Structure 1
Amino acid sequence: MSVSLLPRHPWTAFCVRRSARLVLSLGVVLTASFAMIRLVPGDPVRAALGVDAPPALVAARRHQLGLDQPFLAQYRHYLGGLLHGDMGASLITGTPVAELVRTRLPATLDIALPAFLVTLAVALPCGLVAAVHTRDGRRPRAELAFTAVTAGLASVPDFVLAAGLSALLAVGLELLPVAGTAGAESFVLPVLALSLAPTAVLARVVRVEALKVLAEDYMRTARGKRLSPARRYLRHAAPNMATAALTVAGSLLPAMIAGTVLVEKVFAWPGIGSAMAQSVVAQDYPVVQAMVLILGTTVLLAGLLVDGLLALLDPRSAIREM
């Protein structure tokens, strides 16, 4: 007779599994971010000091950074530094990477979180309204327009949207600032560039799920009872499609976070993404390593949050994993 190592209570087992998965995933991200810069061809120290730097200076700098040690020794040193909050220093400026993360991460969150909230706030009602007005083959032209617009927006890369919005709204119409963080208006274009494509994807999924819900017997019963549209759609339809919508929204989060790298570069936004793009060009590998680790950890924590919300909305999902 086998005995499960997991706790028997569904919620406790759910938390244990998710925590174990998070720790394992963090270990993978940590190892990958460390190994990445050591597998890239070229010498980061030579790139930082310049091609004309004396070999003795290059060797001394490599020894100072511990890059002349074996791979495993470097890895142990890196892990030890992380446990004490030390993420290394920039090869170019010598600035501690932890200080760079502390100053840059809030700026990234300032546009990533509003972009996600805008995605939810726009996609959910748009998808539901589109389903209500096009169910049972009604308004085929409206369905075609909705499908065409959302498919077009979903297929455009973030940096193309960013450049297009900047050219139209900032350069052409002069309604918004082109770049920088001067005032609330400067947040509009980066948030739009990050949220347009995910909004289109999520709205399409919400419409499909809403059409399924609207065809259920309990919705026909609600219509037969002459319930108001607000009560039918908000009280009966919306909760039953929320789980699927939130699942898709959670899967869009990694792409949105990754999209900050190019969007911040386009709008000269002083966040993690622009710092990573600059560091890649300058071959400042310790900074790139830290930024990859931060972005990967953010994605994992966001996924954990979505899993928790899904379990709260549908407790059966936690039990089914037993």
Structure 2
Amino acid sequence: MTLAAPAPAHEAPAPERARPRTLTPRFFARHLTRFALSLTALLVASFAMIHLIPGDPLRKMLGPTAPKELIEQRRDELGLDDSIPVQFVHYLRDVFSGDLGTSFISAQPVSTIIRDGLLNTLALALLATVVALLVAVPLGMWGAVRTENGRSRRTESAFGALTGAAVAVPEYLYALALVIVFALGLSWFPPAGLTGPASYVLPVLALAIGPAAMIARVARVETLRELGSDYMRLARAKRLPAGRLYVRHLLPNTLTATLTMGGLLLSGLITGSVLVENVFAWPGLGLRTVEAITQKDYPVAQAVILVYGAIVLAVNFVVDLALGALDPKSALSTGKEN
């Protein structure tokens, strides 16, 4: 007769897996290296812009009737007679010292033109990003709670149709519609320019509607995924109040992907606000870009390309670090940190 071994009174709990450390020096150095390499490629591309223009760029800048002496003078001022490597070294020196040249149209320092326009563009893009997130996250969470487990098919269909249509409409069409209805029709807001706080309302809405719909769709998917997780089942079993259940437990766990998209959205709004700024005659970098291209003001156009690219790279770098801090798994997707 074989006697079974007595069962232990209680089993030792399984050791908890260590939470991966993401913001280690190696993680930071890897992303910093990527940022530096991308910035180097951007500097090369912006420098090459003048040299890739077909024909003589100075002749295009100054016009076909410009005297030869003026062209030779400007060529000497810009150092275009030097070798390409020497010109690139001088270009790097000027960029990192803040000297981006002089506008051929207004004779103003390009750095001054970029600074003034960039501040207005950043204000517009930041406000649009905040508005989009404040609307999209609650809307996406509400849509997920209402349609969880196949409930309310009508709500699900309406949510998908409305947000899909909102994403499909270009920002400049929103801008035109808002101007026609709220500026020209109702006279609630100024139609153009920057004359006060009311001037921000229509351009911010024009930039925020499409991104808010897109983020709402992402927030709904993330919320549905979290609603089916074990911790949410446990929280519901405890019959926690709705505010505590959704705000304290659900919201933080749905924000990772949403905030990542919000960060990328910010860089997209900064670089993609050109048409909206032109509709509202907004004194931002987008308006300066169109003016520089149409007037063949190549020093300004060259600087705008550099600034736009640097903004995108910087925002992506910050988003990568923030994602690594919020979601430990994100670091493991690009390499081991051990």
Q: TM-score, normalised by structure 2?
A: 0.87
> Partner residue of 2:206?
193
Alpha-carbon shift at residue 34 of structure 1 (Å)? 1.7
Aligned residue for 2:257, secondary structure, equals: helix
Written as runs of structure 1 = structure 2, the 5 A alignment for 1:20-39 is 20-39=33-52
What secondary structure is seen at the aligned counterpart in 1 of 2:103? coil
Deviation of residue 311 (structure 1)?
2.0
Is structure 2 residue 122 aligned with structure 1 residue 103? Answer: no
2:320 maps to amino acid: D
Counterpart among 68, 71, 91 of residue 104 in structure 2: 91
Amino acid at match of 1:80: R
Larger Rg computed on CA atoms: 2
In the alignment, is residue 290 of structure 1 matched against residue 303 of structure 2?
A: yes
Alignment-derived partner of residue 270 in structure 2 = 257
Q: Is the 8 A contact 1:202 1:248 kept in 2?
A: yes
Any idea what the Cα deviations from partners look like across 1:241-294, whole Å, max 9, x if unmatched?
211212222332332122222221111111111111110111111101111111
Code of the aligned partner of 1:76? V
| Superposition deviation, residue 10 in structure 1 | 5.3
Counterpart contact for 2:23–2:325, Cα < 8 Å: no
Q: Matched residues in 2 for 1:272 and 1:70: separation?
A: 32
For residue 158 of structure 2, what is the aligned residue in structure 1? 145
Matched positions, count: 315
Which deviates more, 206-215 or 8-17?
8-17
Write the distance in 2 (CA, Å) between the matches of 1:10 and 1:271: 35
* CA deviation after TM superposition for structure 1 residue 319, in Å: 5.3
1:180 is matched with 193
Cα distance in 1 between the residues matched to 2:145 and 2:158: 15
Query: Does the 8 A contact of 1:10 with 1:319 survive in 2?
Result: no
Q: Is the 8 A contact 2:31 2:317 kept in 1?
A: yes
Q: For 1:265, give the aligned amino acid.
A: N
- CA offset at residue 201 of structure 1? 0.7
Corresponding residue for 1:128? 141
Greater mean alpha carbon deviation, residues 101-110 or residues 66-75:
66-75
Distance in structure 2 (CA, Å) of the matches to 1:112 and 1:253:
6
Give the AA of the match of 2:245: R
- Tell me if structure 2 keeps the 8 A contact 1:44–1:283: no
Q: How far off is 1:42 after superposition?
A: 4.6
Equivalent position of 1:54 in the other structure:
67
- Counterpart residue identity of residue 136, structure 1: N
Once residues 234 and 45 of structure 2 are traced to their aligned partners in structure 1, the CA distance between those partners, rounded to angstroms, is 54
Q: Which amino acid aligns with 2:170?
A: P
Q: Which residue in the other structure is 1:5 paired with?
A: none
Q: Does 2:258 correspond to 1:245?
A: yes
Q: Deviations over 1:139-188 (max 9, x none)?
A: 11121111111111111222222222222221122211101111111001
1:206 to 2:219 alignment: yes
User: In the aligned structure 1, how far is the partner of 2:214 from the partner of 2:290?
Assistant: 26
- TM-score by length of structure 1 reads 0.91
Q: Deviations over 1:220-245 (max 9, x none)?
A: 22222211111111122112221121
The two structures, once aligned, show a CA RMSD in angstroms of 1.9
The sequence identity of aligned pairs, in percent, is 47
- Over 3 Å counting, the alpha-carbon distance change for 1:75 and 1:86 in structure 2 is same
* 2:91 corresponds to 1:78: yes
| More helix per residue | 1
Separation in structure 2 between the aligned mates of residue 99 and residue 251 of structure 1, nearest angstrom: 27
Q: SS of the counterpart of 1:177?
A: coil
Within 1, Cα distance between the matches of 2:118 and 2:261?
25
1:198 maps to a residue whose letter is P
After TM superposition, the structure 1 stretch with the greater mean CA deviation from structure 2, 151-160 or 46-55, is 46-55
Distance 2:244 2:137 in 1: 16
The answer for the alignment partner of 2:129 in structure 1 is: 116
SS in 2 for 1:277: helix
One-letter amino acid of the structure 1 residue matched with residue 179 of structure 2:
S
Partners of 1:140 and 1:37 lie apart in 2 by: 56
1:215 aligns with 2:220: no
Per the TM alignment, residue 114 of structure 1 is displaced from its structure 2 partner at its CA by 1.0
Which amino acid letter does the alignment assign opposite residue 93 of structure 1?
A: S
Maintained 8 Å contact 1:85/1:98: yes
Aligned-pair CA distance for 1:205: 0.6
Residues of 2 paired with 1:9 and 1:245: CA distance?
19
CA displacement 1:182-230 (0-9 Å, x = unmatched): 1111001111111111111111011011111112232222222211111
2:6 matched to which residue of 1?
none
Range 219-228 or range 278-287, more displaced: 219-228
SS at match of 2:273: helix
Please state how far the C-alpha of 1:30 moved relative to its aligned partner.
1.4
Q: Is the 8 A contact 2:99 2:111 kept in 1?
A: yes
CA distance in 2, matches of 1:89, 1:306: 34
